[in-house]
Amino acid sequence: MYVVRVEDLNVSVNGEYVIKNFNLLVSPNSIVLVRGPSGSGKSTLLKVLVGLIPNVYRKFRVDGFIEVLGLSPVEAVKEGLIAYIPQDMTTFFLGSRVCDEFEVLGRWLDDFKGLSDRYVSELSDGQLYKLLISTAMLSGVKLLLLDEPTSHMDKYSLINMMSSIRRLCSEVGLTVLLVDHRVELIRDYVDVVISLGSEEVGLRRISKGGRFSVDGYSVVVKDLWFDYDGYEVFRGLNMFVRCGEVFSVLGRNGSGKSTLLKILANILKVRRGYVSVSKPIFYIPQRPIYWFTTNSVYDEVNLYIKVFRRDDDVDEVLKVFKINYLSSRNPYTLSVGEVRRLSLALAYITSPKTLLIDEPTLGLDSTSLGVLEWFLDVFRGSRSVVLATHNEGIKELVDNSLTLGFDHDVNQ
Amino acid sequence: MTLINDVKELLTKEYLIKYKLVVITSLLILIIVVTLLDSLTLIATALAIVVIIYIMRCLRDFILTMKVFTLFILPFITSSLTIQLFLDLLDVSRIILSTLKMFLLYILSITLIKLITFKDLLSMVKYLGLKPVLILILGFRIINLGITTLNDITSIYNVNLGIVSKGFKRKLILIKLVTQAFIQSFIVRVLDMGEAIYCRYRSVLKRLGG
């Protein structure tokens, strides 16, 4: 008997196919990875398997045979056999604090004792991911559906998680289906890799640069101290980013990367320390993933061109960022990778002196990574970019970096 | 100014409430008090406050809370006093009564938020049934989600479009963009929350007896 059986699956919305003729068989106690580029329908597949599509999202049309643990997806969810962990996790908690989640379960998780009084909104994505997986395990699920775990977890947390999942597969009969595009990080732990859609690589260059002449430092942080209600994040942090430099802030989940970016963007105020950032700033947050104004990708790009009085051509920008095929789509219906490309396009139009990107590789496939690489090259030398990420692979794309540790140790 | 800063910090850190939100709430409370001026008696108000102090069980918390609310009630007292003096209709007992009622409303709301835990809400399933409790939980969560989303969107737009918002007309445009983004983002996040209810909490609530 298969844990997941999908035959001739077709998923469409408004007559457009998201998934076409897809077949999948998942054996018990196995870990299956479905890979594919942004927008290939990976997240949609998980939503179909958990019954969200078409039971919650009724506009979708689903044809084909789907069976999960011998039941329909809705019945399997009713029985509490499936746990699904999406990309945007903050909305997946009903309680404000971590302890609220423990109240629901009626049990405490020792690993999270230190975080129990913290607000969910203050936790990093990696911490949220670990919390969701741990609570799912406690609920006795048989099938775990994970959407892009590598985007949310640092290398060490990811290895720990995959090792414990591997162990649980043999010990308690857990089966795992995950969708991701960074196969290399989890290849050793996966039994089967299945592809959805095809990836294309390559970018056309357009000239951009030299709008500003720069020298000196664009970001200066001296003796920065910061805490969340006594939970200390920075103790005397120093950081310097030269003008025209692409700089990365590295660190494990919860080490304060996003907090630092919010401080640089002046969203969080500091009580002690000196922070100076060259303005104008453009900030691409890790969450919320969606923060757009208009009803189409075209209108969104056009809006920024008008507001910033640029002479860029909308179609040209859409082509460069590989989102021209999405021009009529509502930004809120895009996949995470597509949203990140749109965000980069908006940053490109505004041409800020300092660009802050939180988790730049979030949801990016090889096409999107190519866009990011090109984008950083365009900015390099004329403007400064600060990237906060747990992905150490980003070091290859940056000029300088700083690593945040848990004991407030910093390496630049 | 130190008091205002302390208040802001207390509201945002301790109660996770935006300062501006409390100002708006204060205005609403002023309207309620004016319309319900004779509905409560002074003794009942005083008794209720004593009960609330007992419930809160921490005098320090209570004093701090009163200090916060005084800041919002003070404009009402001052304006009432001024108007009464101007019209030559000074009625100190009326001002005291209204002030106490306002304190009562504030304290009741904050006590409710502080006292009702997620566990309490879930335990009500047995007595109220699943649906009303779910509505209550969702209500609390949606308010929280709305505040968080508004904060997030405002922060992002202030950073990214703040530079072009100089001048009154441009500020209006920024407000319009923020509002549009907030509405869309909020709807998406509420839908995401629906996913959570569907996936994560259905079996848990079933276990609790719904």
The angle subtended at Cα A49 by Cα A44 and Cα A55, nearest 5°, is: 80
- Minimal Cα–Cα distance from A170 to chain B, Å? 24
Six-digit token pair at B30? 């002023």
3-state secondary structure of A255: coil
Q: In this complex, do A139 and B118 lie within 8 Å of one another by their Cβ atoms?
A: no
Q: Which residues of B touch A95 (CB under 8 A)?
A: 118
Q: Is A217 on the interface with B (CB under 8 A)?
A: no
pLDDT at B45 over 60: no
- The residues with which A232 forms a beta bridge, in sequence order, are A227
SS3 sequence of B4-71:
HHHHHHHHHHHCCCCHHHHHHHHHHHHHHHHHCCCCCCHHHHHHHHHHHHHHHCCHHHHHHHHHHHHH
Whether A207 is covered by a domain: the verdict is no
Taking residues A330-352, report their average pLDDT. Answer: 91
Please indicate, yes or no, whether residues A179 and A293 belong to a single structural domain of this protein: no
The whole-number pLDDT of residue A312 equals 87
Please indicate, yes or no, whether residues A97 and A15 belong to a single structural domain of this protein: yes
CA dist A272 and B66 (Å) reads 29
The lowest-confidence range among A165-174, A213-222, B37-46, B157-166 is B37-46
CB B149 within 8 A of CB A288: yes
Q: Which residues of B touch A103 (CB under 8 A)?
A: 117-119, 122
Six-digit token pair at A379? 């900015």
CA dist A276 and A221 (Å) reads 6
Work out the pLDDT band at A115, boundaries 50, 70, 90: confident
A163-201: burial string, b at 16+ Cβ within 10 Å, e else: ebbbebbeeeebbbbbbbbbeebbeebbeeebebbebee
Please indicate, yes or no, whether residues A247 and A289 belong to a single structural domain of this protein: yes
Q: What is the DSSP letter of A281?
A: E
**Range list of β-strands (E), A243-305:** 246-251, 272-277, 281-284
Six-digit token pair at B120? 């309490």
Q: Which parts of A8-154 fold into alpha helices (H)?
A: 42-49, 52-55, 73-78, 98-105, 125-138, 149-152
Cα→Cα distances A54→A11, A47, A50, B26, Å: 9, 9, 10, 44
Q: Which amino acid is it at A226?
A: F
Please indicate, yes or no, whether residues A361 and A258 belong to a single structural domain of this protein: yes
Q: In this complex, do B118 and A100 lie within 8 Å of one another by their Cβ atoms?
A: yes
Nearest to A291 among B137, B153, B163 (CB): B153
Closest chain B residue to the Cα of A348, Cα to Cα: B160
Nearest to B122 among A82, A104, A280 (CB): A104
Nearest to A94 among B149, B184, B196 (CB): B196
Cα→Cα distances A334→A189, A304, A329, A342, Å: 29, 19, 8, 9
Single residue among A140, A161, A195 that ends a domain in this structure: A195
Taking residues A28-55, report their average pLDDT. Answer: 89
Please indicate, yes or no, whether residues A139 and A244 belong to a single structural domain of this protein: no
Q: In this complex, do A104 and B164 lie within 8 Å of one another by their Cβ atoms?
A: no
Closest chain A residue to the Cα of B177, Cα to Cα: A293
Better-scored residue on pLDDT, A200 or A348: A348
- Minimal Cα–Cα distance from A8 to chain B, Å? 25
Better-scored residue on pLDDT, B86 or B207: B86
The whole-number pLDDT of residue B87 equals 75
Six-digit token pair at A223? 């003796």
Please indicate, yes or no, whether residues A247 and A128 belong to a single structural domain of this protein: no
The lowest-confidence range among A67-71, A197-201, A325-329, A347-351 is A197-201
Whether A212 is covered by a domain: the verdict is no
Taking residues A360-374, report their average pLDDT. Answer: 83
pLDDT at A386 over 90: yes
Query: What predicted TM-score, i.e. pTM, was given to this entire model?
Result: 0.71
Work out the pLDDT band at A122, boundaries 50, 70, 90: confident
Exposed/middle/buried for residue B39 (C-beta within 10 Å: 0-12, 13-18, 19+): exposed
Express each pLDDT in B115-146 by its tens digit: 566 667 777 777 777 777 777 777 777 777 88
Please indicate, yes or no, whether residues A114 and A29 belong to a single structural domain of this protein: yes
Please indicate, yes or no, whether residues A161 and A278 belong to a single structural domain of this protein: no
User: At A21, which CATH number?
Assistant: 3.40.50.300
CB A281 within 8 A of CB B157: no
Single residue among A195, A230, A265 that ends a domain in this structure: A195
For chain A, what is the domain count?
Answer: 2
Q: In this complex, do B202 and A279 lie within 8 Å of one another by their Cβ atoms?
A: no
CA dist B153 and B151 (Å) reads 6
Closest chain B residue to the Cα of A138, Cα to Cα: B204
Q: Is B164 on the interface with A (CB under 8 A)?
A: yes
3-state secondary structure of A279: coil
Express each pLDDT in B50-108 by its tens digit: 555 555 545 565 666 666 677 667 777 787 788 877 777 777 777 777 777 777 777 66
| β A217-228/A231-242 pair status | antiparallel
State the best of B2, B5, B18, B203 to mutate against chain A, taking most chain A CBs within 10 Å. B203
Taking residues A361-370, report their average pLDDT. Answer: 80
Q: In this complex, do A103 and B152 lie within 8 Å of one another by their Cβ atoms?
A: no
Whether A203 is covered by a domain: the verdict is no
Better-scored residue on pLDDT, B80 or A215: B80
- The residues with which A7 forms a beta bridge, in sequence order, are A65
3-state secondary structure of A88: coil
Please indicate, yes or no, whether residues A182 and A233 belong to a single structural domain of this protein: no
The whole-number pLDDT of residue B172 equals 83
Cα→Cα distances A226→A235, A256, A408, Å: 7, 10, 11
Q: Which residues constitute the domain of residue A140?
A: 4-195
Whether A205 is covered by a domain: the verdict is no
Whether A209 is covered by a domain: the verdict is no
Please indicate, yes or no, whether residues A36 and A170 belong to a single structural domain of this protein: yes
Q: Is A74 on the interface with B (CB under 8 A)?
A: no
Express each pLDDT in A251-272 by its tens digit: 888 889 999 999 999 999 887 8
Q: What is the sign, positive or negative, of the torsion defined by CA atoms of A159, A161, A162, A166?
A: positive
Phi and psi torsions of A210, nearest 5°: 75, 15
Percent of chain A past pLDDT 90, that is, above it, reads 35
Q: In this complex, do B144 and A80 lie within 8 Å of one another by their Cβ atoms?
A: no
Q: Which residues of A touch B186 (CB under 8 A)?
A: none
CB B11 within 8 A of CB B18: yes
Closest chain B residue to the Cα of A268, Cα to Cα: B155
Six-digit token pair at A298? 């075209």
Q: Is A212 on the interface with B (CB under 8 A)?
A: no
CA dist B7 and B70 (Å) reads 10
ipTM above 0.90 for this complex: no
Work out the pLDDT band at B19, boundaries 50, 70, 90: low
pLDDT at B7 over 90: no
Q: Is A274 on the interface with B (CB under 8 A)?
A: no
The whole-number pLDDT of residue B86 equals 75
- Minimal Cα–Cα distance from B62 to chain A, Å? 20
The whole-number pLDDT of residue A204 equals 36
Whether A287 is covered by a domain: the verdict is yes
Q: Taking all residues of chain A, what is their mean pLDDT, rounded to a whole number?
A: 85
Whether A200 is covered by a domain: the verdict is no
Please indicate, yes or no, whether residues A246 and A372 belong to a single structural domain of this protein: yes
Q: Which amino acid is it at A159?
A: I
**Range list of β-strands (E), A255-350:** 272-277, 281-284
CB atoms within 10 A of CB A311: 5
Six-digit token pair at A145? 């559906």
CA dist B147 and A325 (Å) reads 34
Please indicate, yes or no, whether residues A400 and A328 belong to a single structural domain of this protein: yes
CA dist A291 and B153 (Å) reads 6
Q: What is the DSSP string of A190-245?
A: -SEEEE-S-------------SS---SEEEEEEEEEEEETTEEEEEEEEEEEETT-
CA dist A47 and A28 (Å) reads 20
pLDDT at A214 over 70: no
For helices B92-115 and B42-56, the axis angle rounded to 10 degrees is: 30
Whether A286 is covered by a domain: the verdict is yes
Q: What is the DSSP letter of A146?
A: E
Six-digit token pair at A366? 């090889």
The whole-number pLDDT of residue A209 equals 41
Q: In this complex, do B199 and A292 lie within 8 Å of one another by their Cβ atoms?
A: no
Q: Is A230 on the interface with B (CB under 8 A)?
A: no
Closest chain A residue to the Cα of B138, Cα to Cα: A94
Q: In this complex, do B199 and A332 lie within 8 Å of one another by their Cβ atoms?
A: no
Six-digit token pair at A90? 């903050």
Single residue among A134, A162, A195 that ends a domain in this structure: A195
Work out the pLDDT band at A248, boundaries 50, 70, 90: very high
Taking residues A219-236, report their average pLDDT. Answer: 86
The whole-number pLDDT of residue A205 equals 38
